[in-house]
Structures are given as C-alpha cells and as structure tokens.
Amino acid sequence: MKAKFALLMVLPLLAVMISSCEKDKEDPSVTLGAQANTTVPGFYSVSLDKTYTMSQAADNSGVVDMLCFYEAETGNNIALASPGSGITGIFTGDDMPDNWTTKNTTYFFMTSLTATQFDAVQDGDALIETSFDSDNARRKAKDVQVGQVWAFKTQDGTYGLLLATAVTQGTTGTVTFKVRTK
C-alpha cells in the first residue's frame, strides 16, 4: 500500500519535470549553405519547414521560398534571397534557379526588433505581420548579421520573422536562423 501511495506521489512530480524540460528546449533553427557549400543545403521552404540541395530544390521549385548565397563584390556578403529575386551568375549547372520554371518571390525587410523581442514572439502573433513593411521590402536580405531580425512575406502570403543566430561568410559559408510565421 505504501509503495502504491509513493508511486502516486512521484508520478505528478515526474510529469512536471518532463514538461519543464520540454519548455527549456532551444528553438529549432534552420541553417542554409551558400552556393559552394557541398555539405549544407542552401534552399528553404517556409511552408514545409524543409531545406533542399539545389538539385532537390529544382525538383520542388514550387515550394522553395528562399536561398542563401554569398557575393562580396556587391556587398551582399552572406545573403538570403528568393528564387524570384533575379540574381544571376551565382549558381551554376542545370539545376540553378535561373533555369527553374517556378521562381517564387519572397520579400524581406530588416526590422528594428531585438533578439529578445523576437524570442517573445510566438507563431501566429500579430507582430509578425505588422513588422513587415511592404513599401521598403526587397527580394534580398543583404549582408545578414547575427542578431538581425528580418520580416518576410512569401509569394503564397505567409508572413514571417527570422532571427540570424550564426553567420559564416564565404561561398562555402552558412547562415543559421530561427523562424516565426503567421
């Protein structure tokens, strides 16, 4: 009887501990590689929350919303862009975005939000949409830096915020970010 009572007392405590651990987990993040990065996929579908290699992206171009590239000469450095941004001369081969029949256009706007403000936002919050400035949005997020919060709107009308958490410059570089969508 005492063993059953002890078990009944321990189970709720265990449940609380497990749910606390769930809340402490870090936000999932997305890492995209630049055009010469052969180990990290460089294309991303917001709606599917999925990354693709260039070959995979060419086969799924209708769901690809953004890509990573590096270009120092024009000040883009590590940048995010949409397949419909019109960039040329960056990617090579038959699967390059220039050759895609579907080129979704995503627009980006650098906000003044801080990382702390971003972390307080939940998927679906109104701030995600109101942070997007369509008058000043561009088809590229140039020179992405750690701590920047970019608002975006995909071609299918999904609004989002992304927080850059890591950036490595170069044609084999990467950008890592957290995403919130509405």
Would residue 4 count as lying in a domain? no
Per-residue pLDDT, 20: 41
Would residue 11 count as lying in a domain? no
Per-residue pLDDT, 45: 98
With 0-12 / 13-18 / 19 or more C-beta atoms within 10 angstroms meaning exposed / middle / buried, residue 74 is: exposed
Report field, pTM of the whole predicted structure over 0.75 = yes
Spatial distance between the Cα atoms of 139 and 137, rounded to a whole number of angstroms: 7
Would residue 150 count as lying in a domain? yes
Spatial distance between the Cα atoms of 182 and 123, rounded to a whole number of angstroms: 6
Would residue 14 count as lying in a domain? no
Would residue 41 count as lying in a domain? yes
Per-residue pLDDT, 46: 98
Domain count, the chain: 1
Strand, coil or helix: what is 30? strand
Per-residue pLDDT, 74: 87
Would residue 25 count as lying in a domain? no
Would residue 23 count as lying in a domain? no
List the domain range (segments joined by +) for residue 168: 30-181
* Residue 84 DSSP class: G
CA distances from 57 to 17, 35, 63, 137 (A): 41, 13, 8, 24
Would residue 92 count as lying in a domain? yes
Per-residue pLDDT, 141: 98
Per-residue pLDDT, 24: 41
pLDDT means per 10 residues, the chain with 182 residues, are 47 41 65 98 98 98 98 93 95 96 97 98 97 98 98 98 98 98 96
